[in-house]
């Protein structure tokens, strides 16, 4: 049985397990379809180039949903995501390996929640998406 | 001069409703297609028993799916050359392009499949700023999501950067 973080033992400074994502054309197409997004930069390389992108662009909201998955996979099904915020600093492109890193910055025992600092980065180390979140953890 | 990129008629729209209210029933299959497309195979989206064991009434949904669930169906004849739909509610600005700056979300109540969710989007903020690469406009759209019991379940603020 998987164990998840809980309020009794969590401490500031704890580092979340790293999550890696890579989306190829088929995955990006499926996300366009599932999110009802017909924007051409997500499936037409020639058009993406025309708009100044080096390749097909990974959707911003897909990276947003990867971010929530990064948190909820770690926190477990009984935890509750309270808030999340992120900045899109640069574009991610098809086939790139993207990694999510995060750590607990503070623990609020009264509220039963923790604050997280998270960032998504490319293989070259550049940060695409700095983020913050709060999540209510299991009470034990 | 301080708002040279924002026409006065656009500035006057701050506070205005840009979209909605629109109400949809959260569809299990649409939510699961979204979860699969993200690669988020959390059992609370797929297995009713797992969702209940985790404290939900029934299957819940990937948190950000709620915004996509509200996208209205539109005909292909309304597509622009860039693939986006013509949108009469977009805010007119004197800029070349609009980029996603980021999002902020508050999740206040759980959302489960079959919930009736109403979304209303307002122009929360519009202002011109001076950046390293010259002036830019920061545009914030806030969407409030309520459920069938008139509880606010979530709020999102989408930040657009235009220059």
How far is CA A50 from each of CA A31, A54, A119, B163, rounded to the nearest angstrom?
22, 9, 29, 18
Q: A88, B100: Cβ pair inside 8 Å?
A: yes
CA distance A139 to B57: 20
Per-residue pLDDT, averaged over B62-77, amounts to 93
- Could you tell me the residue range of the domain that residue B91 belongs to? 8-162
| Domain assignment present for B2 | no
Residue B106 inside a domain? The answer is yes
- CATH number, position A118: 3.10.129.10
pLDDT digits (tens, 9 = 90+) for B105-147: 999 999 999 999 999 999 999 999 998 888 999 999 999 999 9
- A15-36: per-residue pLDDT in tens? 999 999 999 999 999 999 999 9
d(CA B92, CA A126): 33
The answer to whether residue A34 is domain-embedded is yes
The 10s digit of each residue's pLDDT in A101-125 is 999 999 999 999 999 999 999 999 9
Domain count, chain B: 1
Is B123 contained in some domain?
yes
Q: Which of A39-48, B74-83, B92-101 has the highest mean pLDDT?
A: A39-48
- A14 lies in some domain: no
Residue A3 covered by a domain: no
Q: Whole-prediction pTM value?
A: 0.95
Question: Is B1 a member of any domain?
Answer: no
> Is A42 within a domain?
yes
CATH number, residue B154: 3.10.129.10
- State mean pLDDT over B10-30: 95
Kindly provide the ipTM of the predicted complex, given to two decimals: 0.96
Interface of A with B (CB under 8 A): 21, 27, 30-31, 33-41, 44, 47, 51, 60-62, 64-66, 68-69, 72-73, 77-78, 80-88, 129
Residue closest to A108 by CA, chosen among A139, A77, A130 = A139
In a domain? residue A108: yes
- Token pair recorded at residue B7: 């026409």
Per-residue model confidence (pLDDT) at position B97 = 78
User: How many domains are contained in chain A?
Assistant: 1
Of A77, A82, A129, the CB nearest to B50: A77
Distance CA A43, CA A49 (A): 11
Q: Residue B22 to residues A120, B14, B33, B146: CA-CA distances in angstroms?
A: 33, 20, 22, 10
* pLDDT, tens digit, 9 for 90 and up, residues B34-49: 999 999 999 999 999 9
Range of the domain at A112: 19-136
Which tokens belong to A15? 């580092």
Closest partner residue to A40 (CB to CB) among B71, B83, B99 is: B83
């Amino acid at each position: 049985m998987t164990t998840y973080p809980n309020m009794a033992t969590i401490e500031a400074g704890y580092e979340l397990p790293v999550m890696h994502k890579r989306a190829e054309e088929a995955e990006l197409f499926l996300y366009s379809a599932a999110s009802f997004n017909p924007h051409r930069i997500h499936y037409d390389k020639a058009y993406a180039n025309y708009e100044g992108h080096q390749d097909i662009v990974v959707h911003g909201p897909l990276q947003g949903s990867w971010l929530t998955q990064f948190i909820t996979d770690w926190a477990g099904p009984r935890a509750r995501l309270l808030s999340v915020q992120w900045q899109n600093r640069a574009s991610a492109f098809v086939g790139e390996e993207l990694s999510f890193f995060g750590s607990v910055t503070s623990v609020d025992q009264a509220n039963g929640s923790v604050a997280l600092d998270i960032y998504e980065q490319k293989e070259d180390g550049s940060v695409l998406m700095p983020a913050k979140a709060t999540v209510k953890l299991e009470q034990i | 001069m301080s708002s040279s990129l924002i026409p006065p008629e656009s500035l006057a729209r701050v506070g205005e409703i840009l979209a909605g209210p629109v109400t949809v029933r959260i569809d299990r299959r649409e939510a699961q297609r979204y979860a699969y497309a993200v690669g988020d195979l959390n059992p609370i989206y797929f297995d009713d028993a797992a969702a209940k064991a985790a404290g939900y009434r029934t299957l819940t949904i990937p948190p950000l799916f709620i915004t996509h669930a509200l996208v209205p169906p539109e005909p292909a004849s309304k597509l622009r050359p860039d693939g986006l739909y013509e949108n009469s509610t977009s805010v007119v600005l004197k800029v070349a392009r609009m980029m996603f700056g980021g999002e902020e979300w508050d999740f206040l109540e759980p959302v489960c499949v079959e919930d009736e969710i109403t979304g209303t989007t307002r122009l929360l903020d519009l202002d011109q700023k001076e950046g390293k690469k010259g002036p830019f406009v920061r545009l914030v759209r806030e969407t409030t999501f309520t459920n069938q019991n008139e509880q606010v379940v979530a709020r999102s603020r989408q930040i657009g950067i235009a220059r």
